[in-house]
Homo-oligomer: A and B are copies of this chain.
Amino acid sequence: MNARTGKVICDLTVSVDGYAAGFNQSEERPFGDDGADGTGSLLHAWMFDTPEENRAEAEQMTEAGAFLMGRNMFGPVRGAWDRPWNGWWGDDPPFHAPVFVLTHHARDPQPMDGGTTFHFVTDGIRGGALDRARAVAGDGDVSIMGGATTANQYLAAGLVDELRLHIAPFTLGAGTRLFDGVPGMKLEQLRVRSASLVTHVTYRVVR
């Protein structure tokens, strides 16, 4: 029935204790209290402080044909869309493809430069979001970018084919934790590569 060759991928940076973000997200601190001083992010130091070492993994993050993310990953606005917000990524976001944002608050699609359009989905993780993402991705992959709450919903529903984890060398102790509430899964370890500020691990979900 489904002849798609593309995968559904979960691609997240986590601390060694599994947190994908700290509490108290704000416009200044997209990942909340993540252990860093000031506005830096210990989680994403691998991307911002050592980009040359991690070019392959960073580029791979944005190669999918469509993207899914939770509303908190899209931005710090809660409740109604009562102020302008088009994501953290500027006028030309790195996705260059449709991005489906899970929210309880309807909003018109937001086209951006470079081929990215944010679509706001209010009817759940499957029909409104994943099915539409699969349709536009064609034979390309669909990438679930986070946060952990969104990833956990897809993982618990058995809808993820591949996990790409970027494990940052610190523990956070509190926040939103990947796998929280997700039943056990057998995984196949596909690739492991370490760089100075991260270990990249890719797993296939075994069904």
Query: A residues within 8 Å of B by Cβ?
Result: 15-18, 35, 42, 163, 165, 167, 169-174, 178-179, 182-189, 192, 194, 196-199, 201, 203
Shortest Cβ distance from A177 into chain B, in angstroms?
9
15 contacts between A and B (CB under 8 A): A16-B163, A16-B203, A17-B18, A17-B182, A18-B179, A169-B189, A169-B203, A171-B183, A171-B185, A173-B182, A173-B183, A174-B184, A192-B199, A199-B199, A199-B201
* In the complex, chain B residues whose CB is within 8 Å of the CB of A173: 179, 182-185
The one of B18, B35, B167, B194 that contacts A184, using a Cβ cutoff of 8 Å? B35
Given contacts A18-B17, A18-B18, contact A189 B182 (CB under 8 A): no
Chain B proximity of A11: nearest CB distance (Å): 15
Shortest distance from the beta carbon of A63 to any chain B beta carbon, whole Å: 23
Bound Cα distance A185, B170 (Å):
6
Oligomeric state, in copies:
2
Chain B: CB-nearest residue to A185: B171
* Whole-angstrom CA separation of A136 from B194 in the bound complex: 36
Measured CB to CB, the nearest residue on chain B to A196 is: B189
Interfacial chain B residues near A170, Cβ < 8 Å: 184-187
**In whole angstroms, what is the CA distance A170 to B205 when docked?**
9
How far, in Å, is A110 (CB) from chain B's closest CB? 34
Inter-chain contact B194/A169, CB cutoff 8 Å: no
Q: Which residues of B contact A165 (CB under 8 A)?
A: 16
Most buried by B among A15, A18, A165, A185: A185
Which single residue of chain B is at the shortest CB-CB distance from A167? B201
